[in-house]
Structures are given as C-alpha cells and as structure tokens.
Amino acid sequence: MTANRVVLLLLSGLVATGSAVAGSAATANQAIVMTERGPIKGAATPTVRKFLGIPYAAPPVADLRWRPPQAHTRWLTPIDATKFRNHCPQGASVFGMASVSEDCLFLNVFTPNEEPAERENSISHRHPVMVWIHGGALVVGESDDYRPTKLVELGGVIVVTINYRLGALGFLAHPALSAESSDHISGNYGIMDQQFALEWVRRNIVAFRGDPDNVTIFGESAGGLSVFSNFASPTAAGLFDRAIVESGAYSLALPALADAESQGAAFAAAIGCSSQSASCLRSKSVRKILAKQGDIDISPNVDGKVLPQSLDTAFATGQFNHVPLMQGTNHDEWRFFVALDFDLSGGPITAEEYPLVVESMVGPDAAPLVLAQYPLSNYASPDLAVGTLGTDSIFSCPARAADQVLSAQVPTFAYEFNDINAPEVFLAPVSFPYGATHASELRYLFKLTWRGQLDAQQQELSTNMVRYWAQFANSGDPNSLGTPLWPLYDPAVDEFQSLVPPSPMGEFEFATDHQCDFWAKLFAAASSGVLPPRNKRTWGQTISSHPNPH
C-alpha cells in the first residue's frame, strides 16, 4: 500500500469519526478542520472562526463548463482558508466586482469560537447551520461581501456563504447541451451548484460542530428566488430543513426548457457558434460570453428534473419540499431600480415620461388601468410613483400571494421590512428618498463591505432581526424570549410582522397599502393578453451595467 493511499485512508477515518475528532483537532489548533477532501486551515478571532475559500466542487472549466458540478480532487496538505477566493464570472456592478475566473465554486464557513470545554461537548451540542445564497439577478454578486458576524456571535449559528455559477455560464440552456446530458436537460447549473454546496454541508459540517440535520437556506433577491427554486426542487429534498426568502417572489412563473433552449440557440449564434455545437460553446472566452449574455433572460427553467414544474405551479399543487418558511419584502423595493434606470442613468423621470415608463412596464393594454390606479397627482414625483407601482406589482403582492398559498401547507412567517430611513449601502444619493428599498434589510443582518451605518434604534432592530433569523434556523419558529411576538401567517387575518425600528410589531394593512386586489385582478387578465410587469432582462441588464461602488 502506497504512502498516499495510507494518508487518504487516515483522512477518511478522521472525517468518519465526526465532531469528536474535529473537536480534539480544534483543541490543538482551533483553526484547523478536516473535511472529506482534506484539511483546511482557517483563522480565528476571540468570537468567530473563519474558513474562507473552501472548494466544494471541481472547477467548472474546459469540458466541465455547462455540466453539473463534480467532486473536487482530494488534497493532503492543509489548504490556506484565511482569505476569500475567486468569485464567479461577471461584469463590474453594484452587487459585485468584475471576474473572469470560472474556478469559482468556493464557500466560506463562519462558526462560533467556543471555549475548550464547549468544544469538548460538541458531540451533544451542535449548532444550527444557515447557508446564504447571495443576490444579484443571477448575473452578478459574490459570497465575499456578506460577513455574518452578528448572526454567529449573537445567534449562535454557523453561517455558510456560497458562490454559484452566474449568467449564461450558470443558466444557459441549449439543445446541444441537453443532448449530451443523460437527463436531456440543460441550464439550471447555478441551482445545481447550490444543491452541491448543500450536499457538502450535509457531509462536512459536523467537523465544524454544526448540525447536518438542522440546515436553513436563506437568500435575498435572486438568492431568494434561488431559495424558492430549491424549495420546489425534488433534487434538493433532504438537503435543508427550513427556508428564508427575502425579496425573492418576483418571478415564480419560470420558462419551459424548450423556450430557454431557443434563446440559447440565438445566444450561440451571437457568440460565433453557427455550428450550434457544445464544443464551440466551450471554446469561447469568458469575456465574449459575458459581453453577449445580456441578450437572453437569465433564469432557472422547467427542465423536468431539477425543476419539474414552474414555482407557482409547484406551490399551488403542494409538490415542493415541505419545511417551515419565513418570507418577506421591503416596503419600497422598486425605488432601487428606479434609481438605477433613471436618476443614475441620465436623470429623474419627468411627468411627460411617466405614461411611457408605465407602458414599458405593463404593456399598452394594462397601462391605462395602472395610470388610473397610480395617478401622478398622488405622488411627490414620477420617480416615486414608478417606485410604488413597481414595488406593489413585482415584489409585495406576489410575495403575499405565495404566503397565502404556502401557509396552508407549511408553517409560514411573513414580514415587511419598514425602516424608511435605512441607509442605502449600494447606490449614490438620488432625487428621492430610497426608503426601505431593495436589499436595504441586508445591513441589519450582515456586516457588509459597502457603506452604511445604523443609529441606536436601527441597531436595536438589527438585534431583533438577527435573533428572529437565528431562532427560526434553530427551531422553525422565530419567536424567543426577548423579541416581540411574531405570529404565524394566517390569510384570514393577513398580519405581517413589520420590521420597524426599534421594535417590530404587527401590521394589518399590507394588502391595502400595496393595492394587492387591483394587481390580483390585473394578473388574472394575463391569459387575455394583459401582461404583468416582469421585465427580468431589463432588470438583469440594469444591475450588471452599473459600475461597482466599492
């Protein structure tokens, strides 16, 4: 037997013994942990241990581009896990820094740094695990920017943040790629990456003193949509025990695989693959792919395996992973996109432009109805009018509709983030107040690499939110001693937990405030040609076309 073979067997034995071995190793050096593929060496502060840039899958390069994720090769010497590694290819944006490296399937683990006596007791006490899926319209973003220090220190949870393939590299469907798949599917590679990372967590988190049977997935925006995608995916069954969706109900109707493949064929031609072959697609540079991916919708698709049906259909028929759910939106979500599309791209919307903007969002048939429901005279500016109708139609009311369906099947806790003075951490000041805009709740859960400080009352709200999130991860119920009561969502009562500083409280006017009855009737008319406002391509292009403010 070779020396390398002996070492591999020893490594396997160490992993198999679980937290007892990890605990003794941590006693000698609390920043070294053995994973199934080999040892890693992280860093420690007095309160948190950090293991950064852990490879959870093989680099999806060359022939592995546009294939399901594969296992990483083993290593024998400790990997330096004290710094973040590459994030997935994308242009510079407000949600991420530019990258062209396809070697990007890394995750980061943040754990409480306990006293030796607590480590020795790790067999009987394992921490709840929270796996964070970042947002960015599925085209940009990175795990690096979300530092979960407060969740770890105050909540006593382990937080794992992950990268996953983005844009065309993560979601391109194409007939040639489907033909070479044993399941005859393509696209959804980013969702497969997320599930591969969850499998890694199940197999390895005991070595970090985490509980593999108590895993919560949570994410914001495209990360929230990703949580919902895993919620509906049979291939994610058993990989998580609870789910938190932040601003993720904006696109529950997914395209069919055939439609996604049709767009993929047009994309292939655009990057110079007239042959429409998989080998040609794989020969193209990352830069060329990034330059042309704005011409296609970046979205999960209904492929028959990862996603057997659209999310809205899965929820309505009960064919999803039945775990407790926490879901919510922010009161002024769409102001973020108004700022990007208009104020930061040339100037505020004028009164003359307002009808044209509304028509571009909802189509010519619905525009007169929407303009009558949202008259410009009701708002301080056209920007705020568009921000309100976009928030109501794209985020708030679809989330409430999902709550109404899902709460009859799984324990559901609904919230609205309502701090109208929340600091804007991504964008420069514009002509209108951002309010509780898209992504503004993130500053209350994470230490972000972007700007934004909280005052004393906002810090108190942050503490309440961290306790809610961590307690939900622990038990499937956000309530604990010291936080305001958060009731289960009941459609008959229609109460949301209003996350307002300093202390959250119940709110009962959500549907009226966001005019959900109006939008429900308008959406119901979609079959007769009235289309709801869901221009995802514009959304993704908007986010990815603005320079990073770092």
- Catalytic residue, chosen from 99, 221, 251, 440, is 221
End-to-end CA distance of the chain: 53
- Catalytic residue, chosen from 333, 416, 424, 507, is 333
Give the integer Cα–Cα distance in Å for 396 and 175.
Answer: 36
Is residue 11 within 8 Å of residue 22, measured between CB atoms? no
Strand pairing of 32-35 and 38-41?
Answer: antiparallel
**Peptide bond connecting 234 to the previous residue in cis, omega within 30 degrees of 0:** no
Task: Tell me the chain's radius of gyration from C-alpha atoms.
Answer: 23
Distances 78 to 54, 309, 495 between C-alpha atoms, Å: 11, 43, 51
Q: Is 438 a catalytic residue?
A: yes
Residue 524 buriedness (CB in 10 A; 0-12 / 13-18 / 19+): exposed
Q: What ranges make up the beta strands (E) of 106-196? A: 106-112, 127-133, 146-147, 158-162
Q: What angle do CA 342, 531, 510 make, to 5 degrees?
A: 75
Strand partners, 413: 326
Residues constituting the chain: 550
The answer for residues whose C-beta is within 8 angstroms of residue 378's C-beta and 6 or more apart is 385
Q: What is the DSSP string of 198-233?
A: HHHHHHHGGGGTEEEEEEEEEEETHHHHHHHHHHT-
- Catalytic residue, chosen from 87, 134, 174, 438, is 438
Strand partners, 327: 245, 414
Is residue 27 within 8 Å of residue 46, measured between CB atoms? no
Give the integer Cα–Cα distance in Å for 225 and 245.
Answer: 7
Q: What angle do CA 354, 356, 360 make, to 5 degrees?
A: 115
**DSSP 8-state secondary structure symbol assigned to residue 302:** B
Q: Is 124 a catalytic residue?
A: no
Q: Is 221 a catalytic residue?
A: yes
Give the integer Cα–Cα distance in Å for 332 and 41.
Answer: 42
How many of the other CB atoms lie within 10 Å of CB of 115?
8
Distances 258 to 252, 362, 444 between C-alpha atoms, Å: 18, 25, 41
Strand pairing of 242-246 and 325-330?
Answer: parallel
Is residue 27 within 8 Å of residue 115, measured between CB atoms? no
Identify how many contiguous H helices and E strands the chain contains and give both numbers: 22, 16
Strand order in the sheet with 38-41: 32-35, 38-41, 79-80
Catalytic positions, written as ranges: 221, 333, 438
